[in-house]
Every structure is written in C-alpha cells, then in structure tokens.
Amino acid sequence: MKKIFLSPFVILFTTILFAQEDIDDLPLEDVVESKIEQPLPTANWESSYKEALNKSKKEKKPVLIYFTGSDWCGPCKVLDKKLFHSEKFKNIADKELILYEADNPRNKDLVEAKRLKETYDLIRKYHVKSYPTLVFVNHRGRMIGYKKGLILTEYYYPFINSVIENY
C-alpha cells in the first residue's frame, strides 16, 4: 500500500526535477524572441460608399465592398489577415479595385454612426445575410459579383480576377 501511495509523488518529483533546463544552457535566440514582426501590407480603403462609387466612375474600376463583423466574426478576422493584408492582394487592389469596408461590429462604438447607417443600408440593398461577404459593384452600385463565407485565400484570386476582367 505504501508503494502505491508513494509512486505518484516519486513520479511527480522526478518530472519536476528533470524537466527544468538551465536558462544559461539555452542559445540566446531561444531565450529572447529574435523575430521582429514586419508591418502587414495594407490596401487603401475608401472612407465612404459614395466616395468609392465616385472614384470607381473616375478611374473605371469596380468597387469591392467587404462586409465584416470586425470584432466578433472569426472567419472575417482570418480573411482580413490572410487576404486583405497580403502583398498579392494589395498589388491587385492598388491597380484594379476601389475598396470599401462595410463593418457591422457588435461594439457599435468602433464605427461612427453615419458609417454604421451606411453599412445597414448596404446590407439591405445587397441582401447580406452572413459574414464575411464580398460584393463587387460597378460605379452605379449595380452588383457584378458576390462571394460569401470563408474559403481558402488562393480561391479568392481567380474570382477577383474574373470580376476585373468582365468589368
């Protein structure tokens, strides 16, 4: 009975004793994280839907409206990081697209009231029911492309390119 009672303590003691490494024996890069995070590339987003449409008409480019729930939508956060903050997307967007983000956060203080109203109007106009949703429109606001949900990032590029080519 004593052996059964003492066995867990012996196992615990030896695990603690041998699991520790002396910090002096570790290479410096293991002790201090040497990786310095580089800023993510950021595309230029318009501040209002009306400005996006005006710029679209002037530059003859389609408008990409990105419907998101920035503070609560997990797939939106993934899409934001992996697609919209990639160098590849930034290059395409700078040359071929006008961008507008229609954010519908749970914390309404994150977006000014005027912009939130504009987002609600766009949600109704384009019948957005889930997030994330990408809607492409021409300079008149007519829908020319629609993609909802999160898919592999690389699958967005052929869709985006087809919208651009058909514009």
> Residue 70 maps to which CATH number?
3.40.30.10
Profile the chain (167 residues) by mean pLDDT over runs of 10 residues: 56 48 48 53 91 98 98 97 96 97 96 97 98 98 97 95 96
Residue 27, pLDDT score: 52
Token digits for 99? 């961008």
The answer to whether 53 touches 140, Cβ cutoff 8 Å, is yes
Residue 21, pLDDT score: 45
Residue 36, pLDDT score: 53
Structural domain span for residue 27: 2-31
Work out how many domains the chain is built from and give that number: 2
Q: What strand order describes the sheet that includes 45-46?
A: 45-46, 98-103, 63-68, 133-137, 143-148
Residue 42, pLDDT score: 81
22 with 70, same domain?
Answer: no
49 with 24, same domain?
Answer: no
Total-model pTM: 0.76
Task: Indicate whether 139 belongs to any domain.
Answer: yes
97 with 150, same domain?
Answer: yes
27 with 107, same domain?
Answer: no
As beta bridge partners, residue 135 has 65, 146
- With tokens 């912009």, the residue in question is 115
How far is residue 119's CA from residue 154's CA, in Å, rounded to a whole number?
A: 27
C-alpha neighbours within 13 Å on the C-beta side of residue 80 = 19
Residue 141, pLDDT score: 98
How far is residue 132's CA from residue 74's CA, in Å, rounded to a whole number?
A: 9
